[in-house]
Amino acid sequence: MSAIAVRSLRNFVDGEYREASTDAFTPLINPATGEEFAQAPVSSAADVDAALQAARRAFGGWRDTTPKERSLALLRIADAFERRAEEFVALECENTGKPISLTRSEEIPQLIDPVRFFAGCARILEGRSAGEYMTGHTSMIRREPVGVCAQVTPWNYPMLMAIWKWAPAIAAGNTVVLKPSDTTPVTTLLMAEIMAEHLPPGVFNVVCGDPTTGAALVTHRIPAMASITGSVRAGMEVARAAAGDLKRVHLELGGKAPVIVFEDSDVAATAEAVAMAGYFNAGQDCTAATRVLAASAIHDDLVAALAEQAAANKTGAPDDEDAAFGPLNNARQLDRVRELVGGAPSHADVVAGGHRVGERGYFHEATVIAGLRQDDDLIQREIFGPVITVQRFDDEAKALEWANGVEYGLSASVWTRDHGRAMRMARALDFGCVWINTHIPLVSEMPHGGYKHSGYGKDLSMYGFEDYTRIKHVMSNIEA
């Protein structure tokens, strides 16, 4: 029986489960019930050091493996994940409260595909052509792994965000110590257990803990790179901590995606698509379609259509086949959503939802709030819940001004039949991803990452893979 199957979790270090050095634990709560189902250790600085020492010992050997060997290991890991998909679904849904059917259909494919993609990336490292850029000398480029990577993942997509971190790092020849969110470590530990069957000890290590554990990880002298997906506040703290010894930093932080709907859009179809992309995962997605800007000509019709969609998108328990989304992740997040919705200004109109659902678990209704102004908190702050806001705009220039008028720059979408307008908006929108007549699809081959307070660096794609490498110039005197 694995350590995952018992209520007290352990760290996974140097190829095996290990007890933490402290007696401090974090209770793990099933968000669908509000009840504790397990405990995870709050790892100390000594636990973090032990994991990093293991990663450093493993780095030399893993760095020197061939791309073919690393690729094969990742392909075997992906196959193993696929065989044990139902275990991942059961554990992820217990830990997050997500609908079982949606987790199986939407997240399991996205768990496996990036691993296989980065297995391919390992074999196609690119660099400038070798040649004689100075007479009598041949120059070449080496692309090398960075070293030991410290990684921190969030609670909204525990499985997927872990994959986005460790898969490119390990494919490039790095070793990893990863700290999952304190509320959702379970599936990351299962990953480590499975990966240990295909990787040398120390290549991938998991330490559980709270923010103090994360701080010990990113401030430690061993890691050459710190990578986090999380809040803006956490990203800024990591950047400040990493500055102490000039670690490379990779940040994927918050978002406040504008959804710009022009008057030539199909209102009913757009409302359905926006609701799906806004309420998926209870809106706990940095790219969620939750900030709608509607052209005046279709504003009222779109608000009405979104209200209908909110009524149709029900929240429910993991085993509810009709649930469009599950609960919020934790009591603190539920309180945050309720505070923002409850604090809506007097000029706002809550046209659908707006309330907690039941007293058991952390469920909240799908909500639509219209009549908002650009400087309202509901527009400027990331809600991270099942709440769609709507603003009315009169022309393209105003839509663009308001869309860009937030601190975030992760993603945006434009809804129009006018190709020229779509291309103008895509060029001018200050966001790392712009969708046209769709919102939220991601593929392993394309980069994910933002600007401004949404961070820097890319996940997925060859760009994300290259973030975990460094460039070395080698010049040889061929006339010596």
The whole-angstrom separation of Cα 394 and Cα 375 is 17
Two tokens, residue 331: 């009591």
Tokens 């504003």, residue located: 299
DSSP 236: H
Q: Which of 22, 53, 4, 6 is nearest to 192 (CA)?
A: 4
Q: Which of 92, 94, 107, 252 is the catalytic position?
A: 252
H or E segment at 265?
none
Measured torsion, CA atoms of residues 287, 291, 295, 299, in degrees rounded to the nearest 10: 130
Measured torsion, CA atoms of residues 412, 415, 419, 424, in degrees rounded to the nearest 10: -40
Known catalytic residue: 16?
no
Cα atoms in the 13 Å half-sphere on the side-chain side of 376: 22
DSSP SS3 for 180: coil
Number of Cβ within a 10 Å radius of residue 445:
13
Q: Which of 121, 286, 382, 433 is the catalytic position?
A: 286
Two tokens, residue 172: 């490039």
How far is it between the farthest Cα atoms of the chain? Answer: 80
DSSP SS3 for 79: helix
**By the 8 A CB rule, do 96 and 32 touch?**
no
**By the 8 A CB rule, do 468 and 149 touch?**
yes
Known catalytic residue: 339?
no
* Amino acid (one-letter) located at 317: A
The whole-angstrom separation of Cα 70 and Cα 61 is 11
| ∠ Cα 327 28 332 (to 5°) | 50
**Sheet of 433-436, strands arranged across:** 349-352, 367-370, 387-393, 291-295, 258-261, 411-415, 433-436
**By the 8 A CB rule, do 298 and 267 touch?**
yes
Active site residues: 252, 286
